[in-house]
Amino acid sequence: MQVIIDRNAGVCPGVDRAIHIIENVLQENRSLTALGPIIHNRYEIDRLQQLGMKTREQSILERNDGFEPLRKEKLFIRTHGVPKRYYEKFETEHLHVIDGTCPIVRRLQKRVERYYENGYQIIIVGKAKHPEVIGLLGHCDDRGIVILDESDFDKIDLNKKSVLISQTTISQQKFFDIKEKLSPLMNDLDIVDTTCKHINKRRDHLMEFSKNVDVVLVVGGKTSSNTGVLYGICSQANPRSYRIESAGEIRRNWFHEEDIVGITGGASTPHWQLELVREYLQKYSPLRGYNK
């Protein structure tokens, strides 16, 4: 069995930037507290916590006394970003904050603000409970409308001037599908494709990569929207695609002795995790009955 790693896999620029910021702060022997899980990858979070990073649920900021225990801590805003009201509170409460918001997400937040201030109805293609979407809603007074498919169109005022945007990690094809169905129903609709270009560029390569191997292992967090999108692309190109968080989930009946196995990962999956999966396959090949 031959095992290869997708050369284009690895964390996206926004996640890479956030991880480097955290590592640099921790290397200077400073404390750092992340507001919520920095990425949808529990193994990378565990690694950073071992270096000294702490994590507090972002919901602590909604409590009346939420800021009191944070005054002596250095806070880190995760890649998904936070609602605008948090920035205002950080300033008034004189809290020390390092902003790790993905630059692409930050620009999108500003765009939402501008459209909202100009009287537009904000329509977001995304998952309502996703932290990025919660942050975007917080830049339009939580009055944006979140949709995921055609069944959500009844939430929209079709007669109001509107802008259609998306959560950055939503499938570009999903955004296009919704755009095609919604556009004929509205007379005044701005459409801005805000899906992540880094992820979109990977699509064609990933399709080709998946077709040229026998089995694809997509490594990423269970709650990672991006990993789900990439897994969908791989599955479309190769039905023998499997989504895993770690090597321990690999099963013997996925493989044949002569298979070429391709390993790829989501935008929150660092190369060290992909290497662990490759080492597992090479050292403890499922074909030897190690993991039934």
The CATH number for 104-191, chosen from 3.40.190.10, 3.40.1010.20, 3.60.110.10, 1.10.1660.10, is 3.40.1010.20
Q: Considering the candidates 132, 245, 249, 257, report the single residue annotated as catalytic.
A: 132
The helix (H) or strand (E) run that includes residue 135 is helix 131-137
Q: 21-67, pLDDT tens digit by residue?
A: 999 999 887 789 999 898 888 899 999 999 999 998 888 777 766 66
- Is 137 a residue whose pLDDT tops 80? yes
What pTM, to 2 d.p., does this model score? 0.84
CA distance linking residue 119 with residue 239, whole number of Å? 46
CA distance linking residue 182 with residue 124, whole number of Å? 12
Query: Is there a catalytic annotation at residue 132?
Result: yes
- Is 4 a residue whose pLDDT tops 50? yes
Percent of the chain exceeding pLDDT 70 equals: 95
Task: Using pLDDT thresholds of 50, 70 and 90, give the confidence band for residue 287.
Answer: low
- Segments making up each domain of the chain, as ranges: 2-10+197-288, 13-102, 104-191
Q: 156-201, pLDDT tens digit by residue?
A: 999 999 999 999 989 899 999 999 999 999 999 999 999 998 888 8
The helix (H) or strand (E) run that includes residue 166 is strand 162-166
pLDDT of residue 284: 64
Q: Which of 137, 282, 274, 162 is nearest to 218 (CA)?
A: 274
CA distance linking residue 123 with residue 111, whole number of Å? 12
* CATH 3.40.1010.20 matches 2-10+197-288: yes
Whether 175 contacts 191, CB under 8 Å? no
The helix (H) or strand (E) run that includes residue 136 is helix 131-137
Q: Is 186 helix (H, G, I), strand (E, B) or coil?
A: coil
